[in-house]
A and B are shown apart, each in its own frame.
Chain A
Amino acid sequence: MAGINRHAKTMVATLVSNKRVGQYHQLILDVGGVVNDFRPGNFVAVAVGGDRSSMVLRRAFAISRISDRGAYGGTMEIIVAPHGSGSRWFCAQPEGSEIDVIAPLGQPFGIPTHPVNALLVGGGYGSAPLFGLAEILKDRGCTVDMILGASTAGKIYAPLEGKRAVNTLRIFTEDGSMGTAGRVTDPITELLAANRVDVIYSCGPMGMLKAISALTANTDVVHQCAVEESMACGVGICMTCVLPVADEAGVVTMKRSCIDGPVMDGALVQWDLVGQVLPVNE
């Protein structure tokens, strides 16, 4: 267990770009050479509100993509929905601002050692880290199909350049304002039935992750999902971010989504027990 947070660095990173993309902000931070330790699925914890902030907790964001080329030594991209006071502050920072960050944190997505058929499923801006993952899977010779879903068009995050990394991309909105009307679970059911999928990578709201886990139960399809639980520390010291997860022997304990996740095996997460008091196991 030693080696928790082993790549994590505390640093002040310069915000080199802040662009609005639909309902989200694309923020790019200069983090230098440490970017080479970043893996898809890792997240960053950002201090918000400035020096005299009354917001005492960091905000966790998935790292969507990294680059080790260009004018800066290394940059990371994060996609932020400005819906709370911390994320609104972050999205309002001008380019050139110095941002206090800790990264990379958390368990990344597992990358297969040989080419497989990978299905990437993103809900809302949860799609962001999937594009960086897609590039890596493509480089490994995987077939990469992507399905994105959201309630409405404005909540779909699908950057043009990201589309190059995938073999197919399908979009579903509940109100039909973009792509096909419906939910992501319908096409997943079809793909599973057609034996077209070896691994599902998912990121998005908990309800979606739970639904996908139900579809992959009793199949050989591996489901790696990045969970979302509210985190107070991001580094494993507060125990607020826990989820009920079974081990290989079936014993359920509360795991920390920050250091044991955010990427977890969807088959082991006890979705029905989330938010419940666990029975005591003697």
Chain B
Amino acid sequence: MSIDLSTTLGSAWFPAPVFTASGCASSGKELAQFFPLQEIGAVVTKSIMTKARHGRPTPRMAETPSGMLNSIGLQGPGIDAFLANDVPWLLEQKARVIVSIAGETVEEYSSLARKLRAVPGISAIEVNISCPNVENRGLVFACDPDAAHAVIDGVRRTLGGELPIIAKLSPDVTNIVEIAKIVVDAGADALALINTLLGMVINLDTMRPHLGGKTGGLSGPAIRPVAVRAIYQVHAAMPKVPILGMGGVATGRDALELILAGASGVSVGTASFGNPEAPIKVQRELAELLTARGFNSLREAIGFAHRVESQ
């Protein structure tokens, strides 16, 4: 009965199609108590920057209907400590690892890529050019075609041809297909769709923005239709470019929806906060649903919503 769930993102092969979402699994250790990390496709680590960062002030979250706002601001230990401690531990667990990177400048992305080039065992690099939680929204590279191109081009040149690059895009743009084409031209092997949408909650007691950082990223089931739409549009325009889909996936049903729209793999983010076993649960349910629909492999289902009926 066991269905072939394997998938690829560029040259990287994964035995299973469900991943953690960047920033929603910390560095993986915290989830190891809840399921064996090697059973999912890969652990996507929180976006790492060059230097250690404290992130934005608290409060950093607000629950919203079927979702939440967060304003973490890329708190993390910096690339050197991360490579010394977190990556070796994940590899020891036999987990596959996708490292997410974020920078404040085009050069910072390239220098992060340079450090990762030398690290054995990493499956791919996710380049987060779409984090909304930076002080200056002008820094959202994924909202600016030239900046998006420059970042991915720099990372590609630094990495050479080996490690696959997954460019993570923001849905907060007028035309996501345009940005997707630009980053693929610049050398991205795959796309991660979608990052959070920028939002705000006002606290009625203080009558001010609730989050310390004022604005935050909206995630969870509330944004799933936006993710499905973005994946569908991009897959229609570039059917050969693999997509790592994410946005509100909490069940196997949700994962299948993103896959039918065109995703080759699915990341589970906010759902892990409600249930730390969510990634493995989603993967199990997905396998059952694919089998029940008569698919012999995950691959057959990718983009199936786009099929043209022959008769």
Contacts and interface: CB of A to CB of B under 8 A. Distances in A.
Given A56-B66, A230-B61, A236 B221 contact: no
Task: Give the secondary structure class of B's interface.
Answer: loop
24 contacts: A1-B29, A1-B85, A5-B30, A5-B33, A5-B34, A8-B33, A56-B63, A56-B66, A56-B221, A229-B58, A233-B272, A235-B30, A235-B276, A236-B30, A237-B24, A237-B26, A237-B272, A237-B273, A239-B55, A240-B60, A241-B60, A254-B54, A254-B75, A280-B53
B63 A55 contact: yes
B138 interface: no
B31 A237 contact: yes
B270 interface: yes
Interface in A197-236: 229-230, 232-233, 235-236
Nearest to B31: A237
A274 interface: yes
B30 A240 contact: no
B25 interface: yes
B68 A6 contact: no
A195 interface: no
B276 A56 contact: no
Nearest to B72: A239
A275 interface: yes
Contacts of A36: none
B70 interface: yes
Q: How large is the interface on B (under 10, 10 to 19, 20 to 34, 35 or more residues)?
A: 35 or more
A55 B51 CA distance: 35
Nearest to A233: B273
A175 B68 CA distance: 37
B24 A56 contact: no
Contacts of B29: 1-2, 4
B167 to A, nearest CB: 23
Interface of A: 1-2, 4-6, 8, 10, 47, 54-58, 102, 229-230, 232-233, 235-244, 253-254, 259, 274-278, 280-282
B135 to A, nearest CB: 9
A242 B58 contact: yes
Contact of B68 (A10, A57, A282): A57
Contact of B65 (A54, A241, A254): A54
B59 interface: yes
Contacts of B52: 253, 281
A181 B30 CA distance: 45
A71 to B, nearest CB: 30
Contacts of B277: 10
A69 B266 CA distance: 45
Contacts of A276: 57
Nearest to B63: A57
Given A58-B273, A232-B70, A239 B63 contact: no
B70 A240 contact: yes
B56 A237 contact: no
A57 B273 contact: yes
Interface in B225-259: 250
Contacts of A280: 51, 53-54
A238 to B, nearest CB: 5
Contact of B273 (A1, A8, A238, A278): A238
- Residue among A238, A242, A282 facing the most chain B CB atoms (10 A cut-off): A238
Contacts of A58: 273-274
A275 B212 contact: yes
B68 A56 contact: yes
Nearest to A252: B54
B61 A10 contact: no
Contacts of B271: 56
B89 interface: yes
Contacts of A281: 52
Given A47-B275, A57-B274, A237-B30, 11 more contacts: A4-B30, A5-B30, A5-B34, A56-B270, A56-B274, A57-B273, A232-B70, A233-B276, A237-B26, A238-B24, A240-B72
Contacts of B273: 56-58, 232-233, 237-238
A282 B51 CA distance: 8
Nearest to A259: B30
A47 B85 CA distance: 32
Instruction: State the 3 A-B residue pairs at the shortest beta-carbon distance, nearest first.
Output: A236-B30, A233-B273, A278-B54
B247 to A, nearest CB: 13
B41 interface: no
Which of B31, B34, B54, B220 has the largest number of chain A CB atoms within 10 A?
B54
